[in-house]
Chains A and B, each alone.
Chain A
Amino acid sequence: MEELKKKVKQALEEGKIHGFLGLKADEGDISPFFMTKDNIAELEKLTAPDGRYSLGKILSRIAAQNPGKAIGVMVRGCDERAIIELTKASQLGTASTVQFGVACTPQTAEKCNCPQPYPSTIDFGEKAKSVNHGELLTKLEQMSVEDRLAYWMAQFDKCIKCYGCRNICPVCYCQECTLEDKNLVPGGIVPPATPVFHFIKAMHMADRCIDCGLCEATCPSNIPLRTIYRHMRKVMQELFDYVPGRAADDKSPLGTLEEGGRLIH
């Protein structure tokens, strides 16, 4: 960690980055923080904990305030994938990023059920083994359509409409969210219109979800949201060989179909 702090400090002092976004530990509390060289002492608190936050999403807000500047950011595998998607969707504006890669520990990888618990370049930590528990998805896929729908309807009935899954999602960036469209999702009703509410989100995730699992982690009702989005990812990969978060120059098939449904690229 000391090495990483040194690298970030050097980049700040040399003016390679205007500021740095990472995670800090403050008396045991883990939170995101943004610093510039004016408050360099903050860097001492930098940590790579078990807890995760949507750093990509926070980065897009910082980027909007700092057009044209280079922003340093601590990235895990999931953060890197999110930043790839945000870049594709022009959500970082004219700001650029300098990424400091952190590989997750095997414990974090297991807790997050993460198939890719490391970024492409690692500045801290060692590559942990890929984790991929997909028992629920396999079980659901073997069910009849009726049983599967019944399963999801029972799950969606638990929803308290906190919008946490959308708020925490690193790749939910729309200014106007369809989930707040009163014509599709009537207001003042809990659980929200089922299954429309959750399936709108699932459709919007089809070419965006980077499988970070934060939606499921933040859901107060423990709805296995990630399983829906993982299914969407699987469909996208099987049909179009498209994996969100894989590469910045991949183009979403949902935006690039030509007449007859053939892919252009």
Chain B
Amino acid sequence: MYLEVMDGKVTGTLPSMNHPISEGSLCIKGWNAHEPVHSQKRLTKPLIRKDGVLTEASWDEAISNVAGELARIRDQYGPNSLAVLTSAKCTNEENYLLMKLTRAVLGTNNIDHCARL
């Protein structure tokens, strides 16, 4: 698909008419793929909840925190105490990687996708 950009802002989505797979079609998520890009509600910085308050954090701190907590829960309660929900806004490849991370690293089959909700 193509994103329409006007004066540096993403304003619309177009299907790729000569793409061998989609052949110029998109589903409703594809047609609206541009909408979240400039959303005010979009998370642009990592936040960690500290004492009940979401606080800005560095990427290093946020990723260490998530990895540490996932490892702690897995070690303490077993891998099946974890579950992962992926997103239709990720690419196929990102979803594949998350599946690998869940099964091979976290050690659970508890993975699903928001499109099945």
Contacts and interface: CB of A to CB of B under 8 A. Distances in A.
* Residue among A49, A65, A167 with max Cβ neighbours from chain B (10 Å): A167
B14 A53 contact: yes
Given A58-B4, A61-B11, A65-B7, A31 B16 contact: yes
Nearest to B11: A61
Contacts of B30: 162
A13 interface: no
B31 A29 contact: no
Contacts of A167: 31
A162 B28 contact: yes
Interface string A38-51: 00000000000111
B27 A52 contact: no
B11 A217 contact: no
Interface string B1-25: 0101011000110111111000011
Contacts, number: 55
B26 interface: yes
Contact of A217 (B2, B14, B17): B17
Interface size bracket, A side: 20 to 34
Interface in A23-65: 28-32, 49-53, 58, 61-62, 65
23 contacts: A31-B14, A31-B16, A50-B18, A51-B17, A52-B17, A53-B17, A61-B4, A61-B11, A62-B6, A160-B27, A160-B28, A162-B25, A162-B28, A163-B31, A164-B25, A164-B31, A217-B17, A217-B24, A218-B24, A218-B25, A219-B25, A220-B25, A220-B27
Interface of A: 28-32, 49-53, 58, 61-62, 65, 160-164, 167-168, 217-220
Given A32-B14, A51-B18, A162-B27, 6 more contacts: A30-B18, A162-B25, A163-B28, A164-B15, A167-B31, A220-B27
Nearest 4 pairs between A and B by C-beta? A220-B25, A51-B17, A51-B18, A162-B28
